[in-house]
Amino acid sequence: MIDYTEKRRRMVKEQIEGRGVFDVRVLKAMEKVPRHLFVPEALLDQAYDDTPLAIGFKQTISQPYTVGFMTEALELKGSEGVLEIGTGSGYQTAILAELGKEIYSIERIPELAEQARKALNELGYKNIVIRVGDGTLGLKEFAPFQAIIVTASGPEVPKPLIDQLDEAGRLVIPVGDRSSQNMYRLRKRGGEIIREYLGPFRFVELVGEYGYKE
């Protein structure tokens, strides 16, 4: 019998906190959420390894460190409405649900959205809304958002996401070309956007009207 609780504890200690993520709320959330329930059965033995894993449809579940890094960068306090672009397996969504008030997530692949919805429902989350659609357009009906996280990389920051970001909100997104991307945190201050460089990363492509074309 695999001790997933111990695997999560080690993952957080060695991969997340050990690499510089120190937000206590983020660490506790990642120690709580069962990552193995969001990966394909054939990859269960790799669920807590420090690597992205394929989840089908040419998509991946990000490596644990990347999830922790991006989540910490959102600076969530617990009262925020959060928009996630790219539901994927639903793992990042679950982490956000532990830390924000209301989580709105968009997934362009219906099969992944349904799988994520099922996993999240089975874990009892009640503060998550999942929609199928073009994530680069955001979800205007629920805006403004105090935090937005984009889990795929596009050639630029989609304008609708900037428009839907609340005053003093934070938007974390990787931007670049298909082979090399950089992570940025954008803050809205007095209607102006302040961009902060957070380092190099590698993501699947952000597909949509304001991203790459299929």
Residues 157-207 have pLDDT tens digits of: 999 999 999 999 999 999 999 888 999 999 999 889 999 999 999 999 999
pLDDT in tens, 29-72: 999 999 999 999 999 999 999 999 999 999 999 999 999 999 99
Q: Answer whether residue 150 shows pLDDT above 70.
A: yes
| C-alpha torsion angle, residues 137, 142, 38, 100 (rounded to 10) | 130
Domains detected in the chain: 4-201 (3.40.50.150)
What's the predicted TM-score (pTM) here?
0.96
**Residue whose token pair is 């009640």:** 126
Which tokens sit at 184? 């940025």
Q: Which of 29, 6, 53, 65 is nearest to 201 (CA)?
A: 65
92-113, pLDDT tens digit by residue? 999 999 999 999 999 999 999 9
Catalytic residue numbers, as ranges: 62
Helix axes 91-99, 110-122, angle to 10 degrees: 50
Place of tokens 């539901």: 87
Buried b or exposed e, range 113-132, using 16+ CB within 10 angstroms? bebbbebbeeeebeebebeb
